[in-house]
């Protein structure tokens, strides 16, 4: 998912490192040629050494250095951060940011637990916000993520508390009415997946492959488990739970490691892991591809392995009536391609056994090396049309169940879960591409399914200096769009194109990559231009529009601004709407703010 073809700047001193080395040596071979000379556009080593270790890591993972650092392993990034950064973590929250009482959201109507209010993943909130209230939404408070350049944590709202993670790996419990902090917990890596509350436990994963259970009231750790031993494993999709078992989707960033010609590509296998909520013990683990074998050498002389890939980027969808859960899968990373990539897969809830697979794009193997025609690009070379969005299970008025899936190809599919995923209809909503089509999620009110598309166009701008590391930007005109399809037959009821950006707004694109959220009569869609808009479900007319790409005064005293909107969409409950703003990847506008809106003063 999202393995954009990137322009890799080839500096003479940036030799590729095949194995972890001490941080000083990695810095000397990978960083010193830019940061040691006094280049006006690049911070010197002395400036970097004033940053904290977490700030260095965030720059390597999500900031301006993310593209150049993509061939570094996790251990190598951590070694560089240990060498450069100040010891210790970020500064603790200001005392004034902490809650003084455990007050709950007094007018809470409905909740939002995990990726969607229900385990069918419709992202439809049936209560708590009307069209009239939508048109009167006003910013109530803003919360800043200190030192971050990306705000991608997906919130959960229960009993007046808002739980969400951050790029720094800090998980927050906030008072939903005021934004004050009840407690914080620091994970091993960035936390983007929505936490899931089960009883008194809060369950979530991080982007280093660890899964956690903490006490929802106190933030104290109960247990943690690394659910996959592959170095590149990451957890981006929210978990779902049933009958004391939590189901955890596993994907990876191994495609980025493939940029290194000496990397032995590729060995990661996507999987779904079932853990006991009580203690984290494994009930079952189901892989989506067979074990890889050595297939020879690539053109640079490194080992070549396959099959691999088929990661699960999004939350599973539960179907208790059939005893199944559904996952959508990513592409393969290496040859040979498998039938389980770019697919909707049904697994048995009790055993994890694959019951059926419906592949919608065959022979799709791709890595980031394909952008430069590198040695670790498989012969298939894409088209990189994997799934990043969860499947949606809806019941029609005539009593049928339909499974909906939106793909990066720009196509939306309707499947029959009673007939092993037989395709009922398909409809095109976008052009599709490596960063195209449906990316993070659709929404459905049962009558229509709402699909926003990215179709962002990335381009290389002319570099103004040899040390200019940010040469990738986005097109201000092309991309975006929101389409409403009839669930019953896929007929297009309406389509609203993306809104072109002002020419003088860097990092602005009409792309609508973020997940959408629906309420009765309206659907919300965030865009790369920083705007969050509400559209009428009847005809797509704009009901409300708020530009998040601005500086905000925050309740926790952190300097914060909004930027591009990508990843999770709005969370709605209790007459309030919560959304993150800021996404620095793929040429977008950075930001570090969580915004809370209400129609009441």
Q: What is the pLDDT of residues 139-196, one digit of tens each?
A: 999 999 998 889 999 999 998 899 999 999 999 999 999 999 999 999 988 999 999 9
pLDDT score, position 469:
43
Q: Which token pair is 374?
A: 């590198």
- Whether residue 259 lies inside any domain: the answer is yes
On the question of pLDDT at 19 being above 60, the answer is no
- Whether residue 239 lies inside any domain: the answer is yes
Q: Sort 164 into a burial class: Cβ within 10 Å, 0-12 / 13-18 / 19+.
A: buried
- Whether residue 3 lies inside any domain: the answer is no
Residue 589: domain span = 23-598
- Whether residue 7 lies inside any domain: the answer is no
- Domain of 460, CATH number, reads 2.140.10.10
On the question of pLDDT at 468 being above 50, the answer is no
Lowest-pLDDT range of 105-109, 538-542, 587-591: 105-109
Total domains, the chain: 1
- Measure the CA–CA gap between 384 and 3, rounded to whole angstroms: 8
pLDDT score, position 461:
56
pTM as predicted? 0.89
Query: What are the residues whose beta carbons fall under 8 Å from the beta carbon of 527, sequence distance 6 or more?
Result: 480, 498, 499, 509, 510, 511, 512, 514, 533, 564, 565
Q: Sort 25 into a burial class: Cβ within 10 Å, 0-12 / 13-18 / 19+.
A: middle
Q: Which of 253, 209, 254 is nearest to 235 (CA)?
A: 209
Question: In terms of DSSP H, where are the helices of 195-332?
Answer: 254-257
- Whether residue 10 lies inside any domain: the answer is no
Query: pLDDT digit string (tens) for 213-249?
Result: 999 999 999 999 999 999 999 999 999 999 999 999 9
SS3 578: strand
Lowest-pLDDT range of 35-49, 57-71, 388-402: 35-49
- Whether residue 4 lies inside any domain: the answer is no
- Whether residue 534 lies inside any domain: the answer is yes
Query: What are the residues whose beta carbons fall under 8 Å from the beta carbon of 480, sequence distance 6 or more?
Result: 452, 453, 454, 455, 497, 498, 499, 509, 510, 511, 512, 527, 528
- Whether residue 42 lies inside any domain: the answer is yes
In the 8-state DSSP scheme, what is residue 96? Answer: G
On the question of pLDDT at 373 being above 70, the answer is yes
- Measure the CA–CA gap between 555 and 99, rounded to whole angstroms: 11
pLDDT score, position 74:
77
On the question of pLDDT at 591 being above 90, the answer is yes
């Amino acid at each position: 998912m999202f393995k954009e073809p990137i322009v890799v700047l080839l500096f003479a001193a940036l030799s590729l490192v095949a194995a972890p080395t001490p941080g000083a040596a990695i810095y000397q071979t990978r960083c010193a040629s830019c940061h040691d000379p006094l280049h006006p556009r690049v911070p010197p080593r002395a400036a970097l050494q004033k940053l904290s270790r977490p700030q260095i890591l965030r720059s390597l993972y999500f900031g301006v250095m993310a593209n150049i650092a993509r061939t570094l392993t996790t251990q190598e990034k951590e070694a560089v951060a240990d060498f450069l950064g100040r010891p210790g973590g970020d500064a603790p929250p200001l005392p004034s940011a902490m809650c003084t009482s455990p007050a709950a959201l007094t007018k809470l109507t409905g909740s939002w637990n995990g990726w969607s209010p229900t385990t069918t993943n419709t992202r439809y909130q049936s209560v708590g916000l009307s069209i009239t209230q939508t048109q009167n939404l006003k910013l109530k408070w803003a919360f800043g993520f200190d030192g971050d350049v990306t705000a991608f944590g997906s919130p959960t709202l229960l009993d007046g508390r808002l739980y969400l993670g951050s790029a720094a790996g800090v998980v927050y419990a906030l008072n939903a009415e005021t934004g004050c902090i009840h407690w914080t917990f620091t994970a091993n890596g960035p936390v983007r997946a929505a936490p899931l509350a089960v009883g008194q436990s809060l369950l979530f994963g991080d982007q280093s492959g660890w899964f956690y259970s903490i006490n929802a009231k106190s933030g104290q750790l109960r247990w943690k488990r690394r659910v996959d031993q592959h170095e590149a494993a990451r957890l981006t999709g929210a978990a779902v739970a049933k009958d004391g078992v939590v189901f955890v989707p596993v994907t990876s960033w191994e495609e980025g490691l493939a940029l290194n010609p000496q990397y032995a590509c590729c060995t990661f296998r996507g999987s779904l892991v079932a853990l006991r909520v009580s203690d984290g013990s494994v009930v079952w683990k189901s892989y989506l591809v067979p074990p890889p074998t050595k297939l020879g050498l690539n053109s640079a002389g490194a080992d070549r392995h396959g099959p691999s890939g088929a990661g699960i980027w999004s939350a599973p969808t539960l179907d208790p009536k059939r005893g199944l859960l559904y996952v959508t899968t990513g592409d393969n990373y290496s040859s040979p391609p498998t039938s389980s990539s770019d697919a909707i897969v049904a697994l048995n809830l009790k055993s994890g056994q694959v019951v059926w697979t419906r592949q919608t794009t065959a022979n799709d193997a791709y890595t980031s090396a394909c952008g430069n025609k590198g040695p670790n690009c498989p012969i298939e070379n894409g088209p990189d049309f994997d799934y990043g969005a969860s499947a949606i299970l809806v019941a029609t008025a005539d009593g049928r169940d339909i499974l909906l899936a939106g793909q990066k190809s720009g196509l939306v599919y309707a499947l029959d879960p009673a007939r092993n995923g037989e395709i009922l209809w398909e409809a095109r909503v976008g052009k599709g591409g490596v960063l195209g089509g449906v990316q993070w999620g659709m929404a459905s009110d049962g009558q229509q399914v709402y699909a926003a598309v990215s179709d962002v166009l990335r381009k290389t701008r002319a570099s103004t200096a040899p040390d200019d590391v940010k040469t990738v930007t986005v097109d201000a005109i092309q991309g975006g769009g929101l389409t409403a399809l009839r669930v019953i037959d896929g007929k297009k009821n309406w389509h609203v194109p993306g809104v072109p950006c002002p020419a003088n707004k860097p990092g602005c694109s009409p792309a609508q990559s973020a997940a959408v959220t629906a309420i009765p009569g309206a659907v919300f869609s965030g865009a790369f231009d920083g705007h969050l808009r509400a559209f009428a479900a009847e005809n797509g007319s704009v009901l409300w529009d708020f530009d998040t790409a601005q500086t905000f005064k925050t309740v926790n005293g952190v300097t914060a601004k909004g930027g591009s909107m990508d990843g999770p969409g709005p969370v709605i409950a209790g007459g309030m709407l919560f959304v993150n703003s800021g996404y620095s990847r793929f040429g977008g506008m950075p930001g570090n703010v969580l915004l809370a809106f209400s129609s009441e003063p």
